[in-house]
């Protein structure tokens, strides 16, 4: 790294935006202060703490956040300010899977066996599969170049949610088949 060229570039970009060196010193101070106080710079600058309405832990309303840089998966039961790898994350909108995208679900000895023929390469794979209902969430991490295969306890109804690195967040509802 050429520190002189880097410094010149930063100065050029800063002056193009009309920002002073003091501005960056203040920004650093706010970042450190926020860290010490256990909050974020946005909250400090707003002067208020916005508290969420309690969701009472309803897991059906679980929000999924995925960092596209490192693959970290974060969940919340209500709105949250989430960041990872220096980027602010937004909750993903789950899309109902088309028939061709659905995971294969088999009931075996009162358990569910979930599998898929989905591509599982390093560039395109399912990162996790989660089962959720009103009181439970179970998440199963998946890895590229492994076949997607998950065993989980059988519940009456629920939803399978999964994240594909190219297709995004998908879901399918599952219901227990009536006994004959």
| CATH number of the structural domain spanning residue 154 | 2.60.40.730
Parent domain of 109: 59-175
The 10s digit of each residue's pLDDT in 69-82 is: 999 999 998 888 89
Q: 87-97: string of b/e by CB count within 10 Å (b at 16+)?
A: eebebeebeeb
Phi then psi for residue 54, to 5 deg, are -65, 130
Residues 10 and 80 in one domain: no
The 10s digit of each residue's pLDDT in 49-73 is: 776 666 566 677 899 999 999 999 9
Residues 36 and 83 in one domain: no
The 10s digit of each residue's pLDDT in 133-161 is: 888 899 999 999 999 999 999 888 899 99
CB–CB of 168/95 below 8 Å? yes
The helix/strand/coil state of 18 is coil
Among residues 169, 177, 174, 176, the alpha carbon closest in space to that of 96 is found at 169
Q: What is the pTM of this model?
A: 0.72
Residues 64 and 114 in one domain: yes
Residues 92 and 150 in one domain: yes
Whether pLDDT at 26 is above 80: no
Residues 42 and 92 in one domain: no
Structure tokens at 23: 């501005």
**Domain presence at residue 180:** no
């Amino acid at each position: 790294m050429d520190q002189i060229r880097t410094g010149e570039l930063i100065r050029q970009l800063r002056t193009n935006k009309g920002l002073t060196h003091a501005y960056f010193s203040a920004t650093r101070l706010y970042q450190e202060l926020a860290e010490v106080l256990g909050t974020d710079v946005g909250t400090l600058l707003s002067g208020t703490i916005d508290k969420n309405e309690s969701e009472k832990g309803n897991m059906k309303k679980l929000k999924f956040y995925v960092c596209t840089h490192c693959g970290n998966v974060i969940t919340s039961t209500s709105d949250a300010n989430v960041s990872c790898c220096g980027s602010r994350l937004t909750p993903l909108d789950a899309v109902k899977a088309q028939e061709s995208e659905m995971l294969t679900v088999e009931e075996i000895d009162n358990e569910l066996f979930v599998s898929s023929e989905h591509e599982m390469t390093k560039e395109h794979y399912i990162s996790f599969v989660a089962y959720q209902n009103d009181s439970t969430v179970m998440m199963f991490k998946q890895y590229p170049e492994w076949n997607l295969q998950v065993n989980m306890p059988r519940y009456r109804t629920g939803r399978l949610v999964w994240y594909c690195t190219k297709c995004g967040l998908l879901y399918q509802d599952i219901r227990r088949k009536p006994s004959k």
